[in-house]
Structure 1
Amino acid sequence: MINSFRPHLRVLLPVFLAAIVLIAGHASPGAAAGTAVLTGKVMDIEGRPVEGARLFLYDTPEVRRSASFISAPTGPDGTYRLIVTPGRYWSMARLKKMDGYGPLMAGDKHSGDPAEIELAEGQEMSRDFTVADLKDARRMRSKDREGPVTISGRIVDQKGLPVRGAYAIANRTEKTGGLPDYVSAWSDADGRYSLSLPPGRYYLGSALSFPPDERAVFLKGQVAIDAGRSDLDIPRSPGEPPVK
């Protein structure tokens, strides 16, 4: 009887072994992936710690979407600590007035274009971030007695088509580098922006990144901003006048 079963055993044994290997593979997964730690401080443009900011990590340079990792809000000392899986990320800090998520709005602060970082397994990296106010990146030292004037309109390209995701920027002096004196939130799908300014004369322009890079474009000459001016289109062609 036993001898008659041996041929069947030789046939079934590989099947049993394969089943055991398959079950073992599901029951004993590989070791968990290692981790890396990113720490640092979030500060304002005057070097003071920012409370309530969050650090966002993305696995691609496209940051207008859900983040791969988000830190807890920073404390009174502005510090954060984020444990992630090793890899390549694009990082930025944000401080939102309403909540910690969603698109940037006027009055929110962020650290500008995402900074690329590479985190190896077991590594602890320290990186500080400076966040600026989207509505007024560099607050003027002088106090204006008159209330601000809000101008709005569209940012358009050389063909007159709307530019989405651009910033309207304004400077009191003729400068092209560094942080602008005033900056709007992102323009929407129709290219529309809104920018609040104290009455006065400004050099107006637009930028495709924050802080502005070499792609920033300014209109020719100063533009008078007062209570009588509220609607203004900003073309992306250097030296062109604004369009009422």
Structure 2
Amino acid sequence: MNRASWWKGLLLLLIVFNLPACLPLAERASETATSGDLRVSRYVDGQGKTGITGQVVHKDSGAPLAEAYVNIYPDAVSNLLGPSQYISSPTDAEGRYNLEVPPGTYYVVARKRMSGQAAGPLAQGDYYSEHQRVITTVEEGTLALVDLQVVPMKAPMFFQKSVVDKRTETGIRGRLVDAAGKPVPGSFAVAYTDSDVRRLPDFASTLSDQQGNFTIFLPKGGVYYLAGRLHAWDMPRPGELYGRLGGEEPAPVEVVPGGFVENILIEMTPFSGEYKPGKSRRPY
């Protein structure tokens, strides 16, 4: 091998072995969807910063959405509802946001309330990320690149009282558990004024705690029918924990005005029905 060929071979080896380091981080990107979650692994050089950046756009048109907020949750215990661990400033005219967070794995959600508020229940006409949960892992010195598509809310969410805004002297207290009797935290009990539980609930509980405890505050006494839900909107998806008090034949619960019915136990098991998109008002 002559000297020129030897140098060419060495140069080729150097290029091959250093190729990944030469590529921009954003080009080493991947997205994988598992169990209804979308894991995004796209990065750009943070230039000394660590966090998440991206663009919020309308799903149908691809147009940027200004004045939206991006919420960052460390886990899904809250069903990605209520206060988040981190929240961005409003997106700019191009729908872009930047948020510094420490390294870790996060759920990323975009919302825009037409009221202009950064928090609170969503209402008809507001914008929100669709139901698939977006997860990303933030690495030291990089910005995870997470673009989010939003759609307008055409009907009220499965229920709007994800956070009870009015405490009353009348209601129902109990626990949500799975088939093994273990508590189901971060979920909701919902109440209906009739036995038709395949519709938008009339009332919803506080978010269940780590022991599965919930409280439903009611405006008056009467007969109610109860169910347990994991997600706060849409009909249950296959495998999602769901349950009705009484099973297939909903059991009535009589509530006396000015008092609480205690120790209600709702067992939640994986939903085995067929998912039908667009059934926010009538779950199934």
TM-score normalised by structure 1 residue count: 0.50
Higher strand share: 2
Q: Which has the larger radius of gyration?
A: 1
TM-score normalised by structure 2 residue count: 0.44
